[in-house]
Each structure stands twice: as structure tokens, then as C-alpha cells.
Amino acid sequence: MLDRNRITINQITTNALSLPEAVEAYAAAGIKGITPWRDKVEAVGARAARTLIEDSGLSVTGFCLAGLYTQKGKAARATQIDEAKRAIDIAAELGSPSIVTVVGGLLPDSKSLDEARSFAFDCLADTLGHARSSGVKMALEPLHPMYTPDWSVLGGLSEANAWCDKLGDGIGIAVDTYHVWWDPDVLRQIAISGKLGRLTAFHVSDWKMETASLLMDRGVPGEGVIDLQSMHSAMTDAGFQGWVEVEIFSERHWARPAKLLIDDIVAGCVNTM
């Protein structure tokens, strides 16, 4: 049974709440960590955000996000890299050990996956030095292949490991159950990532059989079909001792009172992992 003290919440899970509201709700429910999003942090300022979180007793367990290099096209390369560096700076100001990194989908006006992948890879390589010197690990998150066109041309843990092989120090992997559960090689790839010291974050949510939206209808752990127990065991067996980070994009759950949702999250995590 999962120790509830290892549960942290990714702030997107309570997207309707401001940072002060989220911190208050998490702390009141006995949650020990938060992974904040940039827009919510910038609404109060990074320094004030850090103080607010520290005073509540929560740990900053990550930060969202850096990357999306391809989104504005090749001409915006320098701007996108600067944006990623700025996000890393904010993560450092918050005292976050890592930053979630999503590489972006196809380039605008191009159907070439090769072109998008090599562009995103080069941008990431050019960001990484800044992350290293800031002491913030980039947590490369491969997304489910259904998000290839718009969010991530990096799909699957084996690809993420291949990129990390070439990128060297300062980069790890965020394993998100919603994105990688379908992969026949997922447990072996988790073991490989662990052996290479790359397991940086573990994001959990569930895949509902009857989903209303592939982007905005994720389930609370236990609400769907993912074998979370096996994935959590694979992470633990691979040496991961970090947080179990609940990350739920869901219009349905966002509309609920946060306290009820957080109670369901804790019960779901404890019962499924």
C-alpha cells in the first residue's frame, strides 16, 4: 500500500484554483508536495510563490513546463529556447529539483516528423547547459503517440532513453502512466531508465475506458484501466524513491470541489499502488 506521505499533486489537477488556493487546499488535506505551473506562479511572482509554499510546509516537487520548441516554427527558435531558459530560472527560484520538459509536435506547415524531431532535439540540447548550471534537472516526458501532431513528436520511453543517451548529464525522464501504459516494453524501459539514473518524476492518472476527451478526461487512480500497481512496482524496483505525482487533466474533475477531488485522489492512490 502506497504511503500517502509520498503523494504530491501536479497543479493542473486543480486547475480552477490559484496558487494560494491550491496550496491551502493541499496542505489542509495533508498532501506534502506540489508541482506548480508557470502561469499560476507568475500570477503571484516566483519569490512570493516560494515563500507561500514553504510557509505551508509543502515541498516543491517539480515545475511545469519547458519545451514546446516546435510550436511557433523554425523562425522562433531563439525565442523558444529563451522561454525554456526562463522557465528553468523560475524553477530554480522556486527551489524545484526538476522541470517537466515536453518537446512539441510537428512544425507548422510541415508534415515531416524527422524534421520536427531533429529541430526539437537540437533546441533541447541548446537549453540543457542552462539547466545544468541552474541545478534544475530537465525531466523529459514522452507523451502518448496520439499527441504527436500537436504536443510531442517524442513518444515512448525507448525514444526518451535514446534522446537521453545522446544528451548526457542534466536530463532525466518523467514517466507518466497516462502516456506510456500501453507500451509493451514499458516495464523494461522503466528498468533501463532506473539503471541509468534517469527516473526523475512519476506522474499518475488513469485511462477511462469510456473517455469523453483524450485530452481533458483523465481519471483519478482507480477510475480506469491502467495497471498502476505494476507500473509503481517497476518504478520502485528500478530504484525510484521519489514522489508519486498525481496529474489529472479533466474538465469533469476540475468542476468538482477541490476537497472532494483530493480525498478521492488519496484514496485512489493508496488503494491502487
Cell numbers placing 251: 474538465
Give the span between the Cα atoms of 30 and 198, in whole angstroms.
29
Give the span between the Cα atoms of 265 and 6, in whole angstroms.
12
Sign of dihedral through CA atoms 59, 62, 65, 66? positive
Q: Which is nearer to Zn ion, 40 or 203 (CB)?
A: 203
Strand order across the beta sheet in which 171-176 lies: 59-60, 33-35, 7-10, 244-246, 199-204, 171-176, 137-140, 98-102, 64-67
How far apart are CB 249 and Zn ion at their closest, in Å? 9
Could you give the C-alpha distances from 85 to 45, 49, 91, 191, 269, in angstroms and in order?
A: 17, 19, 10, 30, 33
Q: Decide: 151 and 102 in contact? Cβ < 8 Å.
A: yes
Q: Which is nearer to Zn ion, 35 or 127 (CB)?
A: 35
How far apart are CB 203 and Zn ion at their closest, in Å? 4
Task: By CB under 5 A, name the binding residues for Zn ion.
Answer: 176, 203, 247
Q: Which is nearer to Zn ion, 52 or 234 (CB)?
A: 234
Cell 503523494 identifies what position?
7
How far apart are CB 33 and Zn ion at their closest, in Å? 15
Q: Which is nearer to Zn ion, 223 or 247 (CB)?
A: 247
How far apart are CB 111 and Zn ion at their closest, in Å? 26
Q: Which is nearer to Zn ion, 130 or 203 (CB)?
A: 203
How far apart are CB 204 and Zn ion at their closest, in Å? 9
